[in-house]
Amino acid sequence: MNKKLPALLLALCLLLSIPVQAAQDSTENFIRQRTYEKQFSDLVPGSTFYDNAAALYEYGLSNGKSDGSFGLNDPMTVGQIVIFAGRIRSLYRLGNAEAGPAVWAEESGPAALGYLRYLQSEGVLGPELDGRLSEPATRAEVAHVLAGVLPEEALPSVNNELVTVGYSSRRYITDVTEYTPYYTDILTLYRRGVSAGSDAQGSFLPDSPITRGAAAAMLTRMVDPALRVRPQWDLSRLYSAQGTLLSDLVEPGTFYPSPASAGEMDSTIRHMLARGEHQLLLYYPGVTAPRAKEIMESALEAVKVYCEQSYNAVNCTYVIAGPVTLSFTAAGAGDRLEEYRAAAMEAAVAVHDQLWENGTITTDMTDREKALIYYDWICSHCVYDYQARDDSLSHIAYSLFANGTAVCDGYTGAYNMLLKLEGIQCYALANDSHIWTVAVLDGETVHIDTTWGDSGSAVSYDYFAMTPEQSRRYHAW
């Protein structure tokens, strides 16, 4: 017979006993209220999961088994993990580990049933575990029980990008797929620092039973931020830019045989660059010398937007019948331009990969933080070439990487190359005497001038991530 009234009275007593300092819906309720002093016969310093099992005791979440042990290697049942989850939920919500479940306690039936009903009433679980409380829990089921116990603000996703990249690359957590029961709950535990897996590959072993010791590790990471874990995964090779070509840095465009606007010329230039080519054959029937000059100047203005490609000059030949041939090159490079372009790309890739390998750039950085790293690198590895002439190699990125000297288009070309290796959208903006970078960092369009950032004895950050309004104070365009 269901005897609800005594349980309700018990709940009221428990609620009345909540300490004055207890807060509702607060992690401040997670306090170590007692000290572990060998209360568990099988738990001594050096034991696997010693810190976690001891912490469960100190947080008031476990008194161990009736025989005086914790049962580190014993299998955890569904009912046991539900009890722990219910206590954590109640402690967070009400400041007392038993107050919430006590409302749902029944004299008949397993003790875990009241905890299950409490979690169901809170929307943490549904009916999927009904009738299974005495069965051994799989690791996937543990993840399912724990994933919704605390809200995001109480248990934040501290490993979000790392887990997303590691999992989507199929290099880590490879034993979990979209067909794995409760796979989203499993990934939630990784993202929130509750699990790092069982081996170097981050394997979760979702179908395996879980021991009380391993479960204690997950449980205590939920209530104690100091115990949360970050997977030690080397993702640097996932970000290696080896094999990237200059043509890969351009969004492909559409070829227009007779570009009639700046937009059509830009698209045609991108079509050429994305194909790894340096020549355009256009058609303007009846073309005149002045018109050919206009076409040439329009094409040169368009190609400078992609100054990382190292083209800054164009030769034009035409016939009145219509064909106009534009051949792009770099002043002073002669027939070695492709050699210089390849060397610049190789150097940029090496810089990119080294910054990832040594941890200067990491997966949890924003676009702005990455762009600042490269800004510092450019300014620290180059000096302005005051002796440069119009035909100097300092006008292309190669000189910055190979010689450590450049002028504004060399600075900007090298910087844009590095940003694009990060997948950061950017282009070059020029006026009659200068050229600089416009980039989209974390959704915001900003202007960045590495040349002027490197104009003094120390790096100046006045020219990093300027708003368009700020940029206009320095650059007219």
Stretches in the chain below the pLDDT threshold 50: 1-20
Same domain, residue pair 342 and 321: no
Flag whether 449 is in a domain. Answer: yes
347-392 pLDDT, tens digit each: 999 999 999 988 899 877 899 999 999 999 999 999 999 999 999 9
Q: Which amino acid is at 275?
A: R
Which DSSP letter does residue 306 get? T
| DSSP secondary structure letters along 372-391 | HHHHHHHHHS-EE-TT--TT
pLDDT at 320: 87
Q: Within this chain, do residues 196 and 307 fall inside the same structural domain, yes or no?
A: no
Q: Which ranges constitute the DSSP H helices of 235-312? A: 262-274, 289-304
Q: Are residues 343 and 323 in the same domain?
A: no
Tell me: do 326 and 346 sit in the same domain.
Answer: no
Question: Cα separation of 49 and 232, whole Å?
Answer: 19
Q: pTM higher than 0.85 for the full model?
A: no
310 in the Ramachandran plot: left (φ > 0), alpha (ψ -120 to 50) or beta? left
Residues 378 and 448 in one domain: yes
Please tell me whether residues 41 and 136 are part of one structural domain: yes
Q: Which of 298, 332, 366 is the last residue of a domain?
A: 332
Q: Residue 454: inside a domain, yes or no?
A: yes
Strand 279-283 relative to strand 323-329, pairing: antiparallel
Is 68 in the same domain as 177? yes
**pLDDT for 13:** 39
Compute φ and ψ for 324, nearest 5 degrees.
-125, 120
Question: Structural domain of residue 456, as residue ranges?
Answer: 335-472
d(CA 313, CA 337): 12
Q: Let me know whether 210 and 307 are in one domain.
A: no
> What is the domain count for the chain?
3
